[in-house]
Structure 1
C-alpha cells in the first residue's frame, strides 16, 4: 500500500465530490468533461465573451463561462460556478459577509477537489519532479491549481503520518 493510501484522510467535501463523480460514471481524468457534467445535471452551459456567472431562475439553471480565458481556466471557473449551483442557496449580494465568505471557501475547495478528485490521485506520480506539469496536462487545469492541490495532499499525508503512532 502506498504512503498516500495509508496516511491521507479525505474531507467530507472530497468524499462528496467523489460520490458525485462516481454516480456520473466519472472514474479517470479523461472522463471529466464540463459539457457532460452540465448535461447530466440539467445545467445549460454557455461560453461567451463576458464575465462568468451562474443563474437559477425557476427550473432553469445555467453557467456562463468567459471565452476570453484559457481552456484550463475556463474549466476551473466551471467548477466554481457548478459548486454554487449544486451546494449553495441564496443571493450572495443579500447575505451577511461571514456566510458569503463560507460559501466562497467551500467553492474554492470544491474547485480543487472537482478538478483533481481524490479517487483519481493514484494517476498522479506525486513525487516526480515534473508532477505539476503532468497534473496540469492530465486534468486540464492551471499549474497554480495543481500546485495548491498537491500541497494540500502532501500536507494531509505528512500530518497524518506524524500522528499515526500517537494513538498507540
Structure 2
C-alpha cells in the first residue's frame, strides 16, 4: 500500500525541512537540536507562545513539550501577524494549521513509512508523543492510506 502514497504539500514541506536539517531518524527529533539548527531560543514557562526567534514552551512532560514545540514551530515557520490585531476566525484558522503541522512535524510521514510496527504504543515510544496524539496521528496516516488505496483501485 505504501507504494501508492502521495505526499501532501505539508508532508513534502516537513520532509524537506528535515532533510535540510539532516534529520532522518526518530531518535534525532529533539527540541534542543532542532532549535539550535533553526537558530531559535527555547524558554520554558507557565504558558506557550512564539515571539520572533523565541519560543516559550509550557513546562510539562517531555512528550507534551515536544508536541507544543511542534505547534509553536508551525506558527514560527508558516504564520505571520499579531494575534492581538487579527480577526478571531483567522486566529482559529492559524491554530488549526499549527495543530495540523504539529502532528506531521512530531511524527513525520516519511519516518512513519519506514516504521515496521504501526501501532499506538510504537508511535508513542518511537516519536516521544502522548497516547492521544499517537492515536490521532495513526488515524490520520491510516485514513490517508485507505483513501489513496481506494483512488488507486477506482
Which structure has the bigger radius of gyration?
1
Contact 1:80 1:111 in 2 (8 A): yes
- For 2:7 and 2:78, locate their aligned partners in 1 and report how far apart those are by CA, in whole Å: 18
Q: 1:87 to 1:124 in 2, by over 3 A?
A: farther
**Cα distance in structure 2, aligned partners of 1:97 and 1:51:** 20
> Is this contact kept in 2: 1:43–1:63, CA < 8 A?
yes
Number of matched pairs: 153
1:94-121, CA deviations, whole angstroms, 9 ceiling, x for partnerless residues? 1122322221121011100111101101
Give the ranges of 4+ consecutive aligned residues of structure 1 lying more than 4 Å apart after TM superposition. Answer: none
Q: 1:164 aligns to what SS in structure 2?
A: helix
Kindly report which structure 2 residues correspond to 1:127-142, keeping only aligned pairs within 5 A, or say none.
131-142=119-130
Q: Distance in 1 between matches of 2:116 and 2:99?
A: 21
Write the mapping of 1:112-151 to structure 2, written as runs, cut at 5 A.
112-121=103-112, 122-126=114-118, 131-151=119-139
RMSD: 1.2
1:99 matched to 2:74? The reply is: no
Cα distance in 2 for partners of 1:86, 1:153 equals 23
For residue 42 of structure 1, give the secondary structure of its aligned residue in structure 2: coil
Q: Structure 1: how far apart are the matches of 2:98 and 2:13?
A: 13
